[in-house]
Structure 1
Amino acid sequence: MSVVEMTTFTVAEENTRAMLAARPAMVEAFRADRRGFLSARLVRVAENTWLDFVEWSDDAAWDESKAKGANLPAIGTFFATIDTLVGAERGVRYDDAQETPAVERRVRTVAYGPEPSQVGELYLPEGQGPFPVVVVVHGGYWTAMWDRRQITDVVDDFLGRGYAVWNIEYRRIGEPGGGWPGTFLDIAAAVDAVDGMDPALDPSRVVIVGHSAGGHLTTWAAHRGALPAEAPGANPKVTPLGIVSLAGALDLKTGDATGFGTVLADPDAEPPKDAPEAARPEAWPLVAAQVGDGIVTLLVGAHYAENPERYSWTSPLELANPGVPVLAVHGTADEAVPADWSHRYAEKTNAAGGSARYVEVEGATHFDVVQPTHPVWPTVTAWVDETFTKNQ
């Protein structure tokens, strides 16, 4: 079994030639010095963004290589040309013929825009398609501290059910372009990118699933068709058949009034139970310095009292009926996002003539509802299955 390391990084335009010139010597240094190094392939995914596929014989070989760092001049010269390391993660595992996996993962990273965070992983199941598509949107207070890697268990589960999965990244608070209006523009662009991304996808059969801040963005995306032309994300190219909000932050107006997210001002604060580690802890001080009396202001660019119109464009509870079915799941033991926000959204949507099902999970925490091993998960997958079945 071999392991593929996927590293995304940016290189300033003036350093691109030097990076490419240093590449062959770096690869040879890896070949001579790194146990288990098999091959490397560099792919340009945007103007200044690169994706490096490095194949190792086993997990331990990758770990040993990371521990060595830039221990040789040729490796250090290459690394010195890199502007920003976006992230490194384990990608596809290629199994030997005698170890046939239950689900073969066909995955590639796709850029839907020129910025480093305007990317996602497209996973295709076995077969030719066209496949229904589950778009997955991660959370993390809309900030750059957390990324799409925290939700790969959900990706694997939907992939195993025969769906194509588009696990998206987007610009977040704490990085250039994040917040208003970039975060909303990116979610809109990422969803619309399903149309034309791959012939194996059926853009007429899309369900969006999001957790926490991603639950907010998922639900907002369902309302895009009702937005005025001047609002970010208006005039959608792809309209979902339905959306699933898992512990979604669906009431920005109340979030602004109550200082939602001020916990981020203290890097030493106790995180919610089972919270993943920050993928980019270096972004925390920048966010902490800006968060002030709440994170919602950084997302929307204003307090509600200063610009209520923006909240009418971005807060699901203000928008109400999205015109597509909604499943809102929330745990009663959620310490990060009040369950009442999901409950009131569902009530308001139904009162407005929409179709929203609210599932309250007794004793579930903020992260329980996004675990495929949790007892509530079959409710989520059954709802998604039914939504696709009704729209074959």
Structure 2
Amino acid sequence: MHNNLQYQVFTEQYGTDPHQTGDLYIPTQKSKGTVCLFHGGFWKMPYDKSQLDAVAVKLVENNFSVWNIEYRRVGYLQQGYPETFIDAIEAINVLAPLSEKYPQIDLSPVYIAGHSAGGHLSLWLGNHKARLSEHALNIIPDAFIGLAPVVDLVASYGDMQRREFITAFLGCTPDENRDIYQHTSPIALLPAQGKQVIFHGEHDEVLPIGEIDDYARHAQQKGTHVECITIAQGTHMDFCDPDSQSISRFIDWLNAQSESR
């Protein structure tokens, strides 16, 4: 446990594996709701939840409870599928028992947000087919938020700079097992079951903003509205910087939701 005048931090498990863990940030003042964070880093080691520690602090200073999630990744696992996806589901499902243990956190509203590869997990969760065998969300969040998210795994495979990360994550190429790509790529799973919001920097050098435009257009054709917020001059890693314009826009959006409730 870590204590601060403005908040407390508790580390909790959502499974038996040492990587099935997260840090729960609870504000001293009344919580405006809970923001779940999935970090990026190509779904692989050594990238971990510490990438979003400073963002979690910024959120809790704005009186949001924050659940900064770790999950099993490539490097610890031979491949990410299906364990990483199972972890994404179970990390959200543990919010109900956590809210009993820590009644000061507020599960109304709940937002799931992820950066880059973590944004992929967030948007994947926002689909009615986002289940693996007996694993399925038992909490319906108010919004699924992508912060410079991976939205199309086939398009990412087609990019030579990203190809090796995609095949390592899913354990196959699209030609070897198209079904796995269809069950894990957000664009293939549209329409979505919940509100989707994407924040993306216009100068993102890792994930071109054109892929977000394609996703939003495809979603619209399927009857799903995706709220897209473009960050002028924004880059990919801005979402790990609590003082960036990108994170300010994200927090402004969250605050606007709480004010309209």
Shift of residue 181, structure 1, vs aligned partner = 0.6
Consecutive aligned runs of 4 or more in structure 1 exceeding 6 Å deviation: none
Q: What secondary structure is seen at the aligned counterpart in 2 of 1:196?
A: helix
- Structure 1 residue identity aligned to 2:122: T
Shift of residue 118, structure 1, vs aligned partner = 0.3
RMSD: 2.2
Number of the residue aligned with 1:360: 230
The 3 A distance-change label for structure 1 pair 341 and 328 is same
Structure 1: distance between partners of 2:134 and 2:177 = 18
Q: Which moved more, 1:166-175 or 1:329-338?
A: 329-338
2:214 pairs, out of 330, 344, 363, with 344
Number of the residue aligned with 2:114: 210
1:159 pairs, out of 46, 49, 60, with 60
Shift of residue 388, structure 1, vs aligned partner = 4.3
TM-score (norm 1): 0.61
Q: What secondary structure is seen at the aligned counterpart in 2 of 1:145?
A: coil
Shift of residue 212, structure 1, vs aligned partner = 0.8
Structure 1: distance between partners of 2:202 and 2:69 = 28
Structure 1: distance between partners of 2:241 and 2:134 = 30
Structure 2: distance between partners of 1:359 and 1:233 = 35
2:42 pairs, out of 136, 141, 145, with 141
Structure 2: distance between partners of 1:377 and 1:358 = 15
Shift of residue 205, structure 1, vs aligned partner = 2.3
Shift of residue 219, structure 1, vs aligned partner = 0.9
* 1:240 and 2:141 matched: yes
* 1:195 and 2:96 matched: yes
Residue pair 1:329, 1:342 contacting (<8 A) in 2 also: no
The 3 A distance-change label for structure 1 pair 177 and 203 is farther
Deviations 1:98-155 (A, max 9, x none): xxx5xx22111001111110000011111466x6210011000110111111111210
TM-score (norm 2): 0.89
Bigger relative contact order (CA 8 A; separation at least 6): 2
Structure 2: distance between partners of 1:112 and 1:208 = 16
Residue pair 2:201, 2:246 contacting (<8 A) in 1 also: no
Unaligned runs of 5+ in 2: none
* 1:371 and 2:241 matched: yes
Unaligned runs of 5+ in 1: 1-90, 95-100, 262-292
Structure 2: distance between partners of 1:382 and 1:323 = 24
Identity, % of aligned positions: 28
- Structure 1 residue identity aligned to 2:136: N
Deviations 1:280-309 (A, max 9, x none): xxxxxxxxxxxxx51111212221122222
The 3 A distance-change label for structure 1 pair 204 and 238 is farther
Q: What secondary structure is seen at the aligned counterpart in 2 of 1:139?
A: coil
Q: What secondary structure is seen at the aligned counterpart in 2 of 1:346?
A: helix
Structure 1: distance between partners of 2:201 and 2:157 = 22
Number of the residue aligned with 2:250: 380
Structure 2: distance between partners of 1:370 and 1:242 = 20
2:19 pairs, out of 93, 117, 121, with 117
Residue pair 2:51, 2:240 contacting (<8 A) in 1 also: no
Structure 1: distance between partners of 2:223 and 2:249 = 23
* 1:168 and 2:84 matched: no
The 3 A distance-change label for structure 1 pair 196 and 318 is same
2:196 pairs, out of 308, 314, 326, with 326
- 1:174-193 aligned at under 5 Å gives the runs 174-176=75-77, 179-193=80-94
Structure 2: distance between partners of 1:119 and 1:308 = 31
The 3 A distance-change label for structure 1 pair 246 and 191 is same
